[in-house]
Amino acid sequence: MIARDPISDLPTHQVTNQVPPLIDYNLFASDPGLQEALRREGAGWAEETVHAFGAAIGTADSIARGEAANRHPPQLHSFDRFGQRIDFVEYHPAYHALMAQGLEAGIHSLPASGRPGAFVAHAALEYMLTQVEPGVCCPITMTGASLAVLLQNEGLHAEWAPLIIANAYDPAAGPATAKRGATIGMAMTEKQGGSDVRTNTTLARPLGGDHYELTGHKWFCSAPMSDGFLTLAQAPGGLTCFFTPRWRPDGKRNPIFIQRLKDKLGNRSNASAEIEYAGALAWRIGEEGRGVATIMAMVNQTRLDAALVCAGMMRHCAVEAVHHAAHRKAFGMHLIDQPLMQTVLADLVIEAEAATALVMRIARAFDGGSPEETAFARIGAAIAKFWVTKRLPNHSYEALECLGGNGFVEEGPLARFYREAPVNAIWEGSGNVNALDVLRALARERASLGALRMELEASKGLDRDYDRFLSGIEAGLQDLASAEPTARRLVEDLALGLQASLLLRHAPADVAETFVAGRLNGGMRGCYGALPAGLKLGPILERAVVGSAKVPATLK
C-alpha cells in the first residue's frame, strides 16, 4: 500500500467516485457467519483470541505486507560469491512478518492442544490469515499437520514436537536445535508420476534401524526452507514415508539441493521448488511399504485446510465486491442500489457463507469426540476439498468483475486472489483424486457413509426442496460400484446437500432460503447472479458490509 496523504485535486482534473481502500477493519467482528460458526462448533472459548487476531490481521500494515510479499517473490541463491553451494531461498521481509503473525497466534499448534474446539479455533484463524495472504498458509498448515505423521515414530516426535508446536517463527538457516521454532515442508511428487506417487523412483538405502539414505528427485517441494520434510521413497519393502531434516545431527547440511524455484501462476509469496536428494540422511516413519497410508494422516488435515483457505478467500472476494458496490456510482446510482448487481453480490455472499459453514463443521469433526465425528471428518474433508476449491476460481472472477477495470489491475487485491484461486484444487489431490477417494470411502467404510447420512438427514423435513434433493442423493448412493464416471456429480450433490443442511439448521432464514432456491433442484446456473426472483437479499448483503458501506433501505 503505497499511497500516503493522497491529493485528489489535480491540475487537470479532480479525482472523484473512487472507492476507499478496504483496510483497518476487524475480519472477525465484521463476519457474522464466522462468529456464529465459531460458537456453534465448540470454540467459543477462543473468541477473544480470534477477535484480537481479526483486528491485527485487518490493519493497513498487515494488508500491505500481503501485497508486498507477492510483489517481491522469493529468490533462490544456489551459490555464494565463492562458488560454494548454499541453496538459500531469500524471502521479502513482509513474508517473514506474516509467517510470524500466523505462527505466534498458534494457527499450527492449536489442534495439538487436544482442547475441544481447537481445530475450529485453528480454522477460524487461518480463514482470516488467508484473506490477507494465502501463500503463508501453506507452510503453516504443513507444519501443524506434520505432527499426525511424526506421532508414528516416537523418537522423532519427542525430538521435533516441542519445536513444531512452539508459537514462534525463526527463519534462520541453521540446525533446528538452535532455533526457537521449526517449520515442516513436504516433498512427495516426482516428474514421472505427479499424483501417482506409487511410481516414485527416489531410492532409500537402509543404514540400520530407522536410518536411511535417500537419492533421487522431487518435482514439487513445498516451502523448501523448512527445517524438515516429509517425503516418500522406495525402500526395499516398497514405498515408504521418511522425515528428512535440512541439517544432520552433526550440524552439517543434509545434501538436499534446490535445483530451481517454480514460476507459478499464483501462490507467489510461497516458494515451491524442484529438489534433489544426493544421499540425504532420513528417518523412516511407519513400516516399509506403507508410505501412502502413513502420510495420509497428514493429508486429510491439509485437505481440510485447503478448503478452509478457499472459504476465507471467498469471504474476502465477496466483501471487496460489496464494499466497492456500496461506494461506487454508475449511471446515477450506487452499484449496490441496482437490482441486478444486488443479485450478483448476494449470490457471492451466499456462496462464501455456505463454504464457511461447511469447513467449520468439518473442523469440529476433526476435534473428534465420537466414532461418528471421526468418520465424518474422514469423508467430509475430501468432499469439502473437492467442492470449495472448485467454486473459488469462478467466485473470485465474478467478484473481480464487480470492480470492473479496477479489479483487473494488480494494484488491487482481487487480481492476486484470482491468480491464487486454482492452486488448492491441485494441491493434496486433484478433483478426480478427491472424488474417487469419496467413492472409496462410501463403498468401503460403513462408518463414513453412516456419518454422512446422519448429517444430511438432520435437516430432513425443514424444506420441501431440500427433501427432494436429498432423495436424489440417496438414489445416487445406491449403486456406488458403477459410479466412477459420474463421481464428480455425486460429490457435488453431497457438498451442496451438506451446505444446505447446515444453513437450514443454523443460518438466518433468508440465507438458507436463498441458498436452497439458488443451488438445489435445478436452481444452479452457470454464473453467479442468476438467482430466482422474490428473494430477500438485503439481510444477506448486510452480512458482508464493512465500515461505512450501507445496504439500500428498500432491501431491508
Distance CA 367, CA 362 (A): 9
Find the mean pLDDT for residues 297-318: 96
Distance CA 308, CA 304 (A): 6
* pLDDT tens for each residue of 209-230: 999 999 999 999 999 999 999 9
C-alpha pair distances (Å), 315 with each of 1, 72, 79, 319, 362: 21, 25, 42, 6, 18
Q: Which helix (H) or strand (E) holds 244?
A: strand 238-245
Look at residue 2 in the predicted model and tell me its pLDDT: 54
Look at residue 158 in the predicted model and tell me its pLDDT: 97
Look at residue 555 in the predicted model and tell me its pLDDT: 63
Contact 377, 307 (CB under 8 A): no
CB neighbours of residue 97 within 10 Å: 18
Q: Which helix (H) or strand (E) holds 283?
A: strand 272-285
Percent helix, percent strand, percent coil in the chain, to nearest 5: 55, 15, 35
Beta bridge partners of 244: 229
Residue 338 CA to its chain's centroid (Å): 33
Find the mean pLDDT for residues 522-537: 91
Contact 315, 352 (CB under 8 A): yes
Instruction: Give me 298's grid cell.
Output: 497428514
Checking if the pLDDT of 185 tops 80, the result is yes
Reported as a pLDDT band with limits 50, 70 and 90, residue 131 is very high
Vertex 133: Cα angle to 551 and 36 (nearest 5): 50
C-alpha pair distances (Å), 257 with each of 131, 216, 224, 329, 496: 33, 11, 10, 54, 44
Q: Which of 98, 423, 89 minimizes the C-alpha distance to 267? A: 423
Look at residue 525 in the predicted model and tell me its pLDDT: 86
Reported as a pLDDT band with limits 50, 70 and 90, residue 244 is very high
Contact 294, 231 (CB under 8 A): no
Reported as a pLDDT band with limits 50, 70 and 90, residue 523 is confident
Q: What is the DSSP string of 169-235?
A: ----SS-GGGSS---EEEE---TTTTT-GGG---EEEEEETTEEEEEEEEEEEESTTSSEEEEEEEE
CB proximity list for 477: less than 8 A, separation 6 or greater: 442, 449, 490
Q: Which of 509, 490, 491, 497 minimizes the C-alpha distance to 465? A: 497
Look at residue 173 in the predicted model and tell me its pLDDT: 92
Distance CA 446, CA 477 (A): 12
Distance CA 137, CA 102 (A): 8
CB neighbours of residue 502 within 10 Å: 24
Distance CA 441, CA 380 (A): 10
Average per-residue pLDDT for the chain: 95
Distance CA 375, CA 300 (A): 12
Q: What are phi and psi of 256, to 5 degrees?
A: -110, 110
- State the pTM of this model: 0.96
**Cα torsion through 540, 545, 550, 553, rounded to 10:** 10
Question: What is the percentage of the chain residues whose pLDDT exceeds 90?
Answer: 93
Checking if the pLDDT of 3 tops 60, the result is no
333-334 and 329-330: which strand pairing? antiparallel
Question: What is the percentage of the chain residues whose pLDDT exceeds 70?
Answer: 99
Reported as a pLDDT band with limits 50, 70 and 90, residue 83 is very high
Reported as a pLDDT band with limits 50, 70 and 90, residue 553 is low
C-alpha pair distances (Å), 212 with each of 156, 203, 238, 284, 356: 14, 9, 14, 7, 43
Counting every residue, how long is the chain? 556
Beta bridge partners of 77: 88
Look at residue 5 in the predicted model and tell me its pLDDT: 81
